[in-house]
Structure 1
Amino acid sequence: MEMLCAVLLLAVGPALTSSVKSSGESLLYPYGTDEGDAKNPKSDDGTSPEIPIAVPYTFYGKEYTSLYVNNNGVVSFGVNVSQYTPDPFPLNIGCPFVAPYWADVDNRMGGDVFWRQTQDAAVLSRCTADINTYFPEIPFTAIWAFVATWDHVAYFGSASKKVNTFQAVLTTNGKIAFILLNYADIQWTTGRASGGDAKTGLGGMPAQAGFDSGDKINYYNIPSSRTPEVLNIGGTTNVKVSGRWVFQVDVFVAPVTTDSDCLL
């Protein structure tokens, strides 16, 4: 069988273990209306209302007490984000946000954008276990989490049945903060208004993934962002779990080492 090898950047901090999902456990944290999630309106370039959060979340030295979940694959602080064609990080707009998959989502064409904040014991236990696995040198017990999921979402101008499913999980112990970016199924990279092909969802300016602090200093582009290879982001990782990227975000942890993972 042909081997596909991807060179991946690794952030300093995560343990380079060969951890994998337990048998039968989904890569995604539980989501949907059965979990108590709210749902964004069906709207091109839409967003959630401003969401007050129960526990302040520290993102690169600044505490935030509210956030937005934007249809176009972004969780933002301070202001919503309607822009559909991604720019490279660092941004000039001064807007801090986490971008699991910044691209021209159109949930009118298909799919839903779910979100909830939670202090449910089972979710917090899972956050704690995950962070302790990837960052064993950092004492961490989660006291709050926010789960945003883009479920089977289509792209603007779609003339196909291609959809994407991905997720951002924010968690904190009240001081130290992390994000987990989970990719379940990525079938398209670009909406028609960003130069993509309506029939394939490819071409033009592809999606951007990573995060930007808004200060033009602290940011991270997941490798393959804004290139055709971002279609394969579900086979990449910085924590030895394909389809998952995890970062400490209360302070910047520079990505300076490299590693190679080969996927069958």
Structure 2
Amino acid sequence: METFCAFLLLVVGSAVTSAVQNSKDSLLYPYGTDQGDRKNPKLDDGTSPEIPISEPFTFYGKPYYSLYVNNNGVVSFGVNVSQYTPDPFPLEGGWPFVAPYWGDVDNRMGGDVFWRQTQDPAILSRCTADINQYFPKIPFQAIWAFIATWDHVAYFGSASKKVNTFQAVLTTNGNIAFILLNYADIQWTTGRASGGDAKTGLGGTPAQAGFDSGDKVNYYNIPSSRTPEVLNIGGTTNVGVPGRWVFQVDEFVADATTESTDCLL
């Protein structure tokens, strides 16, 4: 009987874990080569080429016409980012960027970094519905989106099988701009060169999440950034959906009065 109970608990526990993971995965917008994505090179601290975008994306009062997708968990404007140990926002260097999970990714060790811009009606409809749900007082209909996904990416110096999957979605109606940061599975916080343990991917200087406009005024550090608790970012939110953070970024300061919430399972 005890053996059967133990087996039953294992099965139920596995089912709950699977259900939770499926829920997290559903937060991610479709990605991959079958969606028309391009992939970054397998290169430590690598980056995409400069990517011209078909619609200007306004980031705190300044329109941008191109961007970079950096292997180390950053979408940047005007400059690529090879730095692997994250600094807290605001940055001294004045780099404007969005950081779903700024840490020392090494896609040579595992995983891929995907990206595409799109005006696919199904994606735009999803962006519109999400933004209307979270910001019902702001009229918004998406005309463009950019999706960057770090899929099962390993960390520098990894001596484990731990990987992270997360995503940044940028969208605009031509005037108002939003970012959505989605977290499916976060298993490590730190690469070895940032002081992390090669066997655990923990310790040292953990990953940073949020965004920085580059003007030292408009920025946001997601709570737990650069602390061990950032490992649990997939259970936090500012819009009532664990694993998702959403911000309006065209000219308004992020609503820092919106407290993060933890997902209790």
TM-score norm. by structure 1 comes to: 0.90
Which residue of structure 1 aligns with residue 5 of structure 2?
Answer: none
Q: How big is each residue's C-alpha offset from its partner over 1:56-102, in whole Å with a ceiling of 9 and x where there is no partner?
A: 00000000000000000000000000000000000001110000000
- SS across alignment from 1:255: coil
What are the equivalent positions in structure 2 for 1:44-55 lying under 5 Å apart? 44-55=44-55
Q: Percent identity?
A: 86
The amino acid of 1:59's aligned partner reads: F
- Using the alignment, how far apart are the partners of 1:196 and 1:29 within structure 2? 30
Moved over 6 A (4+): 22-25
Q: How big is each residue's C-alpha offset from its partner over 1:110-157, in whole Å with a ceiling of 9 and x where there is no partner?
A: 000000000000000000000000000000000000000000000000
Q: Which has the higher helix share?
A: 2
Which residue of structure 1 aligns with residue 62 of structure 2?
Answer: 62
State the Cα distance separating 1:259 from its structure 2 match: 6.2
State the Cα distance separating 1:24 from its structure 2 match: 10
Q: Against the structure 1 CA distance between its residues 141 and 45, is the aligned structure 2 distance closer, same or farther, given a 3 Å change threshold?
A: same
- Using the alignment, how far apart are the partners of 1:225 and 1:257 within structure 2? 16
Which residue of structure 2 aligns with residue 184 of structure 1?
Answer: 184
- Using the alignment, how far apart are the partners of 1:117 and 1:132 within structure 2? 21
Which residue of structure 1 aligns with residue 259 of structure 2?
Answer: 258
State the Cα distance separating 1:26 from its structure 2 match: 1.0
Which residue of structure 1 aligns with residue 245 of structure 2?
Answer: 245
- Using the alignment, how far apart are the partners of 1:69 and 1:239 within structure 2? 25
Q: How big is each residue's C-alpha offset from its partner over 1:141-193, in whole Å with a ceiling of 9 and x where there is no partner?
A: 00000000000000000000000000000000000000000000000000000
Q: Which has the higher strand share?
A: 1
The amino acid of 1:53's aligned partner reads: I
- Using the alignment, how far apart are the partners of 1:128 and 1:258 within structure 2? 23
Q: Against the structure 1 CA distance between its residues 259 and 237, is the aligned structure 2 distance closer, same or farther, given a 3 Å change threshold?
A: closer
Q: Against the structure 1 CA distance between its residues 146 and 105, is the aligned structure 2 distance closer, same or farther, given a 3 Å change threshold?
A: same
Which residue of structure 2 aligns with residue 235 of structure 1?
Answer: 235
Q: What RMSD in Å do the two structures reach over aligned CA positions?
A: 1.5
Q: How big is each residue's C-alpha offset from its partner over 1:4-32, in whole Å with a ceiling of 9 and x where there is no partner?
A: xxxxxxxxxxxxxxxxxx98981100000
The amino acid of 1:263's aligned partner reads: L
Which residue of structure 2 aligns with residue 221 of structure 1?
Answer: 221
The amino acid of 2:90's aligned partner reads: P
> Which segments of 5 or more consecutive residues in structure 2 lack a partner in the other structure?
1-21
State the Cα distance separating 1:254 from its structure 2 match: 3.5
The amino acid of 2:38's aligned partner reads: A
The amino acid of 2:187's aligned partner reads: Q
Which residue of structure 1 aligns with residue 97 of structure 2?
Answer: 97
What are the equivalent positions in structure 2 for 1:1-264 lying under 5 Å apart? 26-251=26-251, 252-258=253-259, 260-261=261-262, 263-264=264-265
TM-score norm. by structure 2 comes to: 0.89
> Which segments of 5 or more consecutive residues in structure 1 lack a partner in the other structure?
1-21
Count of residue pairs the alignment pairs up: 243
